Chain A
Amino acid sequence: MSATLLETRDVAKYFGNVVALKDISVAVGAGEVTCVLGDNGAGKSTFIKILSGVHRHDEGELLVEGEATHFSNPRDAKERGIATVFQDLATVPLMSIWRNFFLGSEPTKGAGPLRRIDVKGAQATMREELRKMGIDVRDADQPVGTLSGGERQAVAIARAVYFGAKVLILDEPTSALGVKQSGVVLRYIAQARDRGLGVIFITHNPHHAYPVGDRFVILNRGRLAGTWTKDEIGRDELVRQMSGGAELDALEHELRRA
């Protein structure tokens, strides 16, 4: 397909004697979406925390553009172009959209004591970037807390894309959203992919994963239960693999609504 941006080889993570992850090999390339699926406690969050520099892996290799790496903190990962959007910790609700968009990387003009944020420029850039995601911002000064859940995800995604992320990691961006809103976020994921980013999309909902994913990885109790590309697996088979048969009825019920 395309150049591999981020890859793990036989990565393992232990918490004391708890084996949280073992032998995990996953890759994502530019312009691809890799979906990581699994039940609660399967190790999805632990996995992305390794990718985003929150945890260090205990075994195996983490490769960024082919080069073995250990991240010592989230800043490290960010500097290598890996941006993570945590569901609840991405934006500051009381701050305006444009202030949130540029928080931590504000564009300035002027020098010395007159160095100041280029407010007009920041607002224009924010509007432009969100327009590329199909959102027309009504009011740049609107607090982010008054946006819908999906729009807030969009702000976080647009920000990551604008600040040069090569890999975008999304932890359950659709889990708290309604059906329509989930669809909106899936569109943003496709947008980011079309702009050449590698996307790692964590979800426990195969119906959200299937339409947008190029590769599917299922984790089960800390192990790799399977890896498929899109042409190797159909939607129903993905659902079956994920549910492991027993909970199929309940899952089918969920899917019918989704």
Chain B
Amino acid sequence: MSAVGAPPKPVPVADERLANISLTARLLRRPEIGALLAAIVVAIFFWTQSSLFLQLDGIANWTDVASTIGIPAVMVALLMIGGEFDLSAGVMTGTAGLTLGVLATEVGLNIWLAIVLTLIGATAIGFANGYMVMKTKLPSFIVTLATFFILQGVNLGVTKLITDQVTVSGIDLAAGYSSANAIFGDSFTSHGFRITVLWWIAITLVATWVLTRTRTGNWIYGVGGDANAARNVGVPVARVKIGLFMATSFVCALTGIMVALRLASTQAGQGVGEEFQYIIAAVVGGCVLTGGFGSAVGAALGATIIGMAFIGIQFSGWNTDWRFLFLGVILLVAVLVNNYIRKRAEGARR
């Protein structure tokens, strides 16, 4: 039939090269390894400044900050791995807190019903984000920037309109508050550990499971790494990306609800600017800005570093404004390291 002659023989040889994949090479392939090392260094540094930092009371402090950054950051990381951004993630926490507050105080709903309605509303906004990005094929950066400003305007405008103030307070007076606060807001040990820390750990574990062990996770890596290649092998690209936007808004709203319950009130400006902290946490945790690479645990570690820095600077008795300098520096270092890793991983292609 053909002139090639004998069919080419597969030559499976016992592969001696297998042994050569060193432990370091394997570790370097993990997106979160840099963040883990950095977290250890930062912890030791602040411990030398203030021994309280690694005592239980101190740990309760910075894990609290880390958790309210970390919960959204983990989802923002998944979205970033899927190749998209959500700049409205920060302001969404405020929108959710205000919605919850208005529904519970002005409308007088039971707090649990208000929570459910708030989450539904947030998810709908996430759908709108994703749908517009997929429909227009515009960068999600610009689409969600628009959502960011729209929500910021609505938060301020509607809050003033309804309450004549820039705050919605008195959430603790609503029916069902104490049970909701026990689950979402309170602290749970004598050292003052917040229940948000448990949520943060749980969400990180679930996100890791989804990302590394489920089909959905494989599709998230695929659509972020190369949307065309993923589409060619039958991955429903639009469905995956819109789903990610919805989940991001949902989780951000959940965070806003947790904060609002704890404080029993929400400021109209709540959450503005925090989207960058989520993105920094994700990038410090090893997510590549162009998508297709990263991990949920990494983003959680990134949030840990930010939480440690914020509280560590306070414990050390320094001016808290230094934390922005700190954020800028770790972001720059992380981006440079990630860029190097990505070039190596993409290797032969370029």
Q: Which residues of A contact B (CB under 8 A)?
A: 1, 31-33, 74-75, 78, 84, 86, 89-95, 99, 102-106, 108, 115-117, 119, 131-134, 136, 138-139, 141, 143, 145-149, 152, 159, 187, 190-191, 193-194, 211-212, 214, 230
Contacts and interface: CB of A to CB of B under 8 A. Distances in A.
Interface of B: 1-4, 7-13, 15, 17-18, 21, 26, 29, 209, 213-215, 217-219, 221-222, 225-226, 228-230, 232-235, 288, 292-293, 342, 344-349
B7 to A, nearest CB: 5
Contact of A94 (B3, B225, B235): B225
A90 B346 contact: no
A198 to B, nearest CB: 12
Contacts of B4: 190, 211-212
B120 to A, nearest CB: 21
Contact of B292 (A94, A136, A139): A94
Contacts of B229: 89-92, 103
What 3 A-B pairs are tightest by C-beta distance, nearest first? A92-B225, A104-B233, A104-B234
Given A32-B1, A92-B221, 20 more contacts: A75-B234, A89-B228, A90-B229, A92-B222, A92-B226, A93-B345, A94-B293, A94-B342, A103-B235, A104-B219, A106-B215, A117-B218, A119-B213, A134-B8, A136-B15, A138-B21, A147-B348, A191-B7, A211-B3, A230-B3
A103 B230 contact: yes
Given A75-B234, A143-B346, A230-B3, A134 B11 contact: yes
Contact of B12 (A84, A136, A147): A136
Contacts of A104: 219, 222, 230, 233-235
Contact of B218 (A75, A103, A136, A146): A103
B52 to A, nearest CB: 41
Given A95-B222, A191-B7, A116 B213 contact: yes
Contacts of B209: 116
Given A93-B349, A138-B15, A33 B2 contact: yes
A201 B192 CA distance: 68
Contact of A136 (B13, B225, B348): B13
A190 B2 contact: yes
Nearest to B26: A141
Nearest to A214: B2
A132 B10 contact: yes
Given A104-B233, A117-B218, A230-B3, A133 B10 contact: yes
A194 B6 CA distance: 10
A211 B5 CA distance: 10
A249 B1 CA distance: 32
B16 to A, nearest CB: 10
A77 to B, nearest CB: 11
A148 B213 contact: no
Contact of A145 (B218, B288, B347): B347
B214 A117 contact: yes
A104 B12 CA distance: 28
Nearest to A119: B213
Contacts of A32: 1
